[in-house]
Amino acid sequence: MSRKLHRTEVCADCSAPDPGWASINRGVLICDECCSVHRSLGRHISIVKHLRHSGWPPTLLQMVQTLASNGANSIWEHSLLDPAQVQSVHDFKSTAKSEFIRAKYQMLAFVHKLPCRDDDGVTTKDLSKQLHSSVRTGSLETCLRLLSLGAQANFFHPEKGTTPLHVAAKAGQILQAELLVVYGADPGALDINRRTPMDYARQAGHVELAERLVECQYELTDRLAFYLCGRRPDHKNGHYIIPQMTCSNGHLTFYWQLVSVSQLNNRLFEELAMDVYDEVDRRENDAVWLTTQNHSTLVTERSAVPFLPVNPEYSATRNQGRQKLARFNAREFATLIIDILSDAKRRQQGKGLSSPTDPLDLGIDDDEHDYDNVASDEDTDSELTTQNNNNTHMDSSDLSDGPITLQEYLEVKKALASSEAKVQQLMKVNNNLSEEVRRLQKEVQQKVHRSIRQVRAEYALKGQSDPTGLTVPPSASPYPPLYRRDRQAISMYEPGAAPGPTAHGPPALDSLAARLQPLNTPSVGMIKPTLRFLRYASVNLNRVSFSSIGRSSEEEGRGESEEGGGSEAGEPDPTLPCTEDVILKTEQVTKNIQELLRAAQEFKHDSFVPCSEKIYSAVTEMASLFPKRPALDAVHCSLRLLASSASRLQVECRKAAPSEPGAPAVDYQLLTQQVIQCAYDIAKAAKQLVTITTREKKQ
C-alpha cells in the first residue's frame, strides 16, 4: 500500500520538507539523509520503511501516521522542547546530523527521565501496568511514551492474568496491537486460561483484528516468502508458501551453519531466521534506496548500508555472522531462505529432532562459527569496500564451490580451536603481566620506605632525632648499622620496618629490650616514645624472618655465648621446642606489654592488674614450651628471669589498685618506672630464648 503525503509533513530530525521514509518503532517521518543515519544504527534502534515504494500493511501505516501527526517526535525531544532550553535545541541541531540522531534515538538523551527510585524493577512493573491499562484506549502516543520509558510489551499482569496485547485485542484497538507487536509483543502469548490474543479478538467480534494478529504471528515466514516469490499465504488454507529451486539440496555453505539447517537446535534456528529476516529487510531497503536516489548528484550525507549494523545485545560471533550474510549472492541467499521456510514448517508440525532443544552430536559447539572480522559502524565506505574486496579475494571459494566437505569442516574446526587456545594463552599472559606490574609497584614503594627508615637510622647514629622522637647519644643508639647480608631479611618487613638483625639476635627483640631499658633515670615522660617504639618493634617481630638469623652461625654464636652461655657440647638440644612456637608465644607477650604501656601512657592505672595478668599468662604459656630442667644453662637462666620478672610485674601492678582509706598515697611515677623495668626484663628474657632456640635448631 502506498500513501499520499500531506504538504505540512516535515522530517522529524532536520525539518526538511516532504519526508520519504518512516521510522516505524519511533513513530516519526524522516528524509533521505536522516534515513541513511537511521539505517546505520540498525533495526534494534530504528525500523525504517519507505512511505511510497515499500509494501505496507494498511493498519501498520495508519499507526505510524497517527503517531507522527499526534506529536510522537515530542517524546524523543522532550527536554529540547523546554522554553528554557531553546539555545540547547539550536546547539544540538547545529551539530553533525548523525551525532544528533544517535543522541536522540540510540542514547535517548532527550527522553523524559523518571525520578530515581531504589528499585528499578518496581518502576518497570509500574510502567508496564500503566501500559496494560492504556492499550484499551486509542491514545497511541501515551503507550509509546510508556514504552520509551521501559514498559514491557509482553508484561504478564499477575492479577488479571493477561498481557497488554490481550487487552488491546479484546477492546478492538488494532492500532495499539500494531504498536505492541512492533515493540516485541507475542501474538501467540497465552493468558491464564491458555487463550491467545486472536481468541480474544474473535470472541469480541473483531474479525479484522484477529486476522491481522495471525499475520503478525507469521510475519517472519510471510516476509521471507514474499521476498522470493512476491506472494503471501492467506492463512486460511495454510501458513507457508515454500518456493522451489532445482539446485536446492537442503545443505548450506552458510556463515555458521556447516551442516543442514534441520540439525540446528531451536534457539540457533530462531536466531538464524531472525538474522535472515533482518538481511531481507536490508536488501529490500537497499533496492528502494537505489531507486529513489538522484544518482546525478553527489550527496555526501547519504550512504548505503553494506551489511547489517552491529547489535550490542548480540554476541560478537553472531554479529560477525549477520554481516557475512551480505556476501551471499541471490541464488545462495534464496537457497538459504527456502531451507529456513521448509524447516520452520516441519518444526511447527512437530516433525522435529528427537531432542529439539539440543544440537545433534556432530562435534559442533554453539559458538564455533566461521566468521570474518566485525566491521565497526564508524568505518567509512571506502574502508568497508576494501575490506569486502580483501575478504572476497581470500575466501573466493568458501561460498560458491558447493557444499563443504567433512574434511574441510574438521580443518576449520581445528583452526578455530587453535585460535581459541592462543587467545586464552594471551589472556593468561596478560593477567600475569598485570600481576607482575602490581608486584613491582609494591616492591618499589617498600624500597622507598626502607630508604627513608635507613636515613632516619643514620641520623639517630649521629645523635640527631630518630623516628621515635628521642634524641639518643651515638653510644646508646638502639639502631644497629645495616649490613649487606641483612638485605634479604629486610625485604620481608612491612614498609618502614626496622633494620635487620644485630650480632646479638633478632632486631625486634633486641630493639625492644633496648627501648624498654629505663637507663639510669626512667620517668613517666619516657612512656609515650617507648610505646611508639614498642609498636614499631612489634611489627618487626611479627614480620621478621628468623631463617636469616642462622646465616652466619659463627658470628652470631659468639654474641650469644657472651649473653647466654652458649652450648656446651656444640650439638643441637632435642628437648628445645620448635622455633615457630617460641616466636608465636613471644608475639603474644609483646602484644600484652604494648597494652600495659598504653594504659600507663593514658594514666589508666586501674588497667595495670588485668594487663599484668595477661602478661603472666602469656609468659607461663611460653615457659611451658621448654623442659622443666633444660640442658642448657642459658635457657635455664632466661626462663628464671622471665618467670621472676613476670611475678614481680604482678606485684608492682597490684600496688595501683585502689587502697583502703587511711593508707599512704601511691607514687604512680615511681610505680610506672618499676613497671617499665619489669617489662624490659621480660622482653630481654624472651629475646634470649628466641635467639638460643633459633641458633640451636640451625646447628
Q: Examine the domain organization and report whether 102 and 180 are in the same domain.
A: no
Asked whether residue 664 falls in the same domain as residue 639, the answer is yes
Q: What does the pLDDT average to over 537-548?
A: 40
Residues 215 and 132 in one domain: yes
- Average pLDDT (669-686) is 85
The string of DSSP letters for 352-383 reads: --SSTTS--SSS--TT----PPPPPTT--HHH
Q: Which residues have a Cβ under 8 Å from the Cβ of 13 and sit 6 or more positions away?
A: 28, 30, 31, 34, 97, 100, 101, 104
The predicted-structure confidence for 329-354, as pLDDT tens digits, reads as follows 988 899 999 999 999 999 988 754 43
Of the listed ranges 139-148, 272-281, 312-321, 674-683, the one predicted with least confidence: 674-683
What whole-number distance in Å separates Cα of residue 317 and Cα of residue 170? 42
Question: Can you tell me which residue has the cell 586501674?
Answer: 606
Name the range with the highest mean pLDDT among 150-164, 242-256, 631-645.
Answer: 150-164
Q: Is the pLDDT of residue 681 over 80?
A: yes
Length of the chain: 699
Q: How far apart are CA 294 and CA 510, in angstroms?
A: 93
Strand bridging mode 21-23 / 28-30 = antiparallel
Is 471 inside a domain boundary? Answer: no
Is 470 within 8 Å of 529 (Cβ atoms)? yes
Whose grid coordinates read 621472676? 644
Gap between the terminal Cα atoms of the chain: 101
pLDDT tens sequence across 21-75: 999 999 999 999 999 999 999 999 999 999 999 999 999 999 999 999 999 999 9
Q: Is the pLDDT of residue 392 over 60?
A: no
Q: Which residue has the cell 540498525?
A: 42
The pLDDT confidence band at residue 13, using thresholds 50, 70 and 90, is very high
Confidence of residue 465 (pLDDT cuts 50, 70, 90): low
**Are residues 100 and 65 part of one domain?**
yes
Looking at the predicted structure, is the pLDDT value of residue 678 above 50? yes
- For residues 487-508, average pLDDT: 37
Kindly list the distances between the CA atom of residue 692 and the CA atoms of 203, 505, 557, 583, 610, in Å, as whole numbers in the listed order.
98, 9, 9, 12, 30
Instruction: List the CATH number of the domain containing 98.
Output: 1.10.220.150
Averaged pLDDT for residues 356-377 = 38
Say what the alpha-carbon torsion angle 291, 293, 298, 300 is, to the nearest 10 degrees: -120
What letter does residue 657 receive in the DSSP assignment?
Answer: S
Classify residue 504: in a domain, yes or no: no
Q: Is the dihedral of CA 536, 538, 540, 543 positive or negative?
A: negative
Answer whether 589's CB lies under 8 Å from 615's CB. Answer: yes
Question: Is residue 187 included in any domain, yes or no?
Answer: yes
Alpha-helical (H) ranges within 365-482 are 381-394, 406-461
Cβ atoms 566, 692 nearer than 8 A: no
Determine, yes or no, domain membership for 484. no
Between helix 668-698 and helix 579-601 the angle, nearest 10°, is 170
Q: Which of 229, 244, 277 is the last residue of a domain?
A: 229
Q: What CATH number is associated with residue 207?
A: 1.25.40.20
Range of the domain at 272: 266-348
The Cα 406–Cα 391 span in angstroms is 23
Sheet of strand 21-23, all strands in order from the earlier edge strand to the far edge: 28-30, 21-23, 48-50
Query: Residue 236: is its pLDDT beyond 80?
Result: yes
pLDDT at 576: 84
- Residue bearing cell 617507648: 530
Query: What is the distance between the alpha carbons of residues 603 and 615, in angstroms, rounded to a whole number?
Result: 19
Of 595, 611, 472, 455, the residue nearest 538 (C-alpha): 595
Asked if residue 359 is part of any domain, the answer here is no
Residue 487 clears pLDDT 80, i.e. is over it: no
H/E stretch holding 114 reads: none
Reported pTM: 0.52
Separation of alpha carbons 342 and 261, rounded Å:
10
Q: In the prediction, which pLDDT does 4 show?
A: 47
* Residue % of the chain over a pLDDT of 70: 66
Question: Based on the domain organization, do 584 and 685 belong to the same domain?
Answer: yes
pLDDT at 653 over 80: yes
Does 276 score more than 60 pLDDT?
yes
Cβ neighbours for 572, distance < 8 A, ≥ 6 positions apart: 696, 697, 699
Express each pLDDT in 557-575 by its tens digit.
Answer: 444 444 444 444 455 667 7
Pair 91, 127 in one domain:
no
Q: Is a pLDDT exceeding 70 seen at residue 444?
A: yes
* Short-list 285, 277, 225, CA closest to 32: 285
Q: Which three cell numbers stand for residue 441?
A: 609497584
Residue 27, in any domain of the structure: yes
Total number of domains constituting the chain: 4
Which cell numbers hold the place of 513? 629490650
Residues near 77 by beta carbon (within 8 Å), at least 6 away in sequence: 89, 104, 110
pLDDT digits (tens, 9 = 90+) for 94-137: 568 889 999 999 999 899 877 655 555 558 899 999 999 999 99
Same-domain check for residues 225 and 160: yes
Pick the more confident residue, 263 or 653.
Answer: 653
The answer to whether the beta carbons of residues 504 and 560 sit under 8 Å apart is yes
Taking the C-alpha atoms of 330, 336, 341 and 343 in order, what is their torsion angle to the nearest 10 degrees? 170
Q: Which residue has the higher pLDDT, 182 or 437?
A: 182
At residue 224, the pLDDT reads: 94
476 within a domain of the structure (yes/no): no
Question: Of residues 466 and 376, which shows the higher confidence score?
Answer: 466
CA dist 249 and 253 (Å) reads: 11
- Residues 135 and 205 both lie in one domain: yes
Answer yes or no: do 589 and 677 share one domain. Answer: yes
Domain ends where: 106, 130, 158? 106
Whether 596 and 646 have beta carbons less than 8 Å apart is answered as no
Are the CB atoms for 137 and 173 separated by under 8 Å?
yes
CA 265, chain centre distance (Å):
30
Mean pLDDT, all residues of the chain: 74
Residue 632, phi-psi category: left (phi > 0), alpha (psi -120 to 50), beta (remainder): beta
Are residues 102 and 126 both part of a single domain?
A: no
- What confidence score (pLDDT) does residue 580 get? 84
d(CA 370, CA 285): 27
φ, ψ (nearest 5 deg) of residue 505 = 155, -170
Query: What CA–CA distance (Å, rounded) separates 469 from 531?
Result: 11
pLDDT-derived band at 410 (thresholds 50, 70, 90) equals low
- Residue identified by cell 549477520 is 322
Q: Are 349 and 80 in contact (CB under 8 A)?
A: no
pLDDT for 611 beyond 80: yes
- Band (396; pLDDT cuts 50, 70, 90): very low
Amino acid identity, residue 566? G
Residue 444: partners with Cβ closer than 8 Å, 6 or more residues away: none
The residue out of 80, 106, 132 marking a domain boundary is: 106
Q: Are residues 73 and 127 in the same domain?
A: no
Grid coordinates representing 452 are 627513608
Would you place residue 667 in the very low, low, confident or very high pLDDT band (cuts 50, 70, 90)? confident
Asked if residue 202 lies in contact with residue 210, where contact means CB atoms within 8 angstroms, the answer is yes
Domain co-membership, 94 together with 189 = no
CATH code of the domain in which 644 resides = 1.20.120.330
Instruction: With beta carbons less than 8 A apart as the criterion, state whether 111 and 78 touch.
Output: yes
Residue pair 183/140 in contact by the 8 Å Cβ criterion: no
Domain-located, residue 26: yes
Residue 677 DSSP label: H
Burial class (CB in 10 A: 0-12, 13-18, 19+), 521: exposed
Cα–Cα distance list, 318 to 324, 419, 478 (Å): 10, 17, 70
In this structure, are residues 600 and 672 in contact, taking their beta carbons and an 8 Å threshold?
yes
